[in-house]
Amino acid sequence: MSQKKCPNCGKWSIWTNNVEDRCEHCGELLSPSELERKEKLKQEQDRQEKDWMFYINPEDSGIVKFFKKSGNLFYTVFMAIMTFIMWLIAALPG
Ligand SMILES: [Zn+2]
């Protein structure tokens, strides 16, 4: 177990390398910037997921969901075939 100096009150507090650890003296986050960075990363991941053309929105109607699911399936199969072809080319002698 290590300790970290609290950015808020300046006292040393137990730090378990967790960005959500709080100061045992004042209750402030010991690493607010790292938590922020983690949050941003999560938001970025969420955004990318929603930008995905076949992202299934819970508000989509049944038919839209059906097409998106078909699209996802098609894309997955397509990528699998492409991966196989790439592997085949790489595996071919010469
Ligand atoms: Zn503190």
Same domain for 46 and 66? Answer: no
Same domain for 40 and 16? Answer: yes
> Which domain does 93 fall in, by range?
54-94
Q: What is the sign of the dihedral through the CA atoms of 83, 84, 85 and 91? A: positive
CB atoms within 10 A of CB 13: 19
Residue scoring higher pLDDT (90 or 1): 90
The residues that bridge with 14 in the sheet, in sequence order, are 3
| Residue 6 CA, ligand 1 centroid: distance in Å | 5
Same domain for 1 and 45? Answer: yes
Same domain for 34 and 2? Answer: yes
Indicate the Cα dihedral angle 82, 86, 87, 93, nearest 10°. 150
Averaged confidence pLDDT in the chain: 87
Helix (H) or strand (E) holding 59: none
Q: Check pLDDT > 70 for residue 86.
A: yes
| Residue 13 CA, ligand 1 centroid: distance in Å | 7
| Residue 35 CA, ligand 1 centroid: distance in Å | 16
pLDDT digits (tens, 9 = 90+) for 36-72: 888 899 998 888 877 766 777 788 888 888 888 888 8
Same domain for 26 and 69? Answer: no
- DSSP annotation of 93: -
To the question of pTM greater than 0.85 for the whole model, the response is: no
Same domain for 61 and 86? Answer: yes
Side-chain half-sphere of 66: how many Cα atoms within 13 Å? Answer: 3
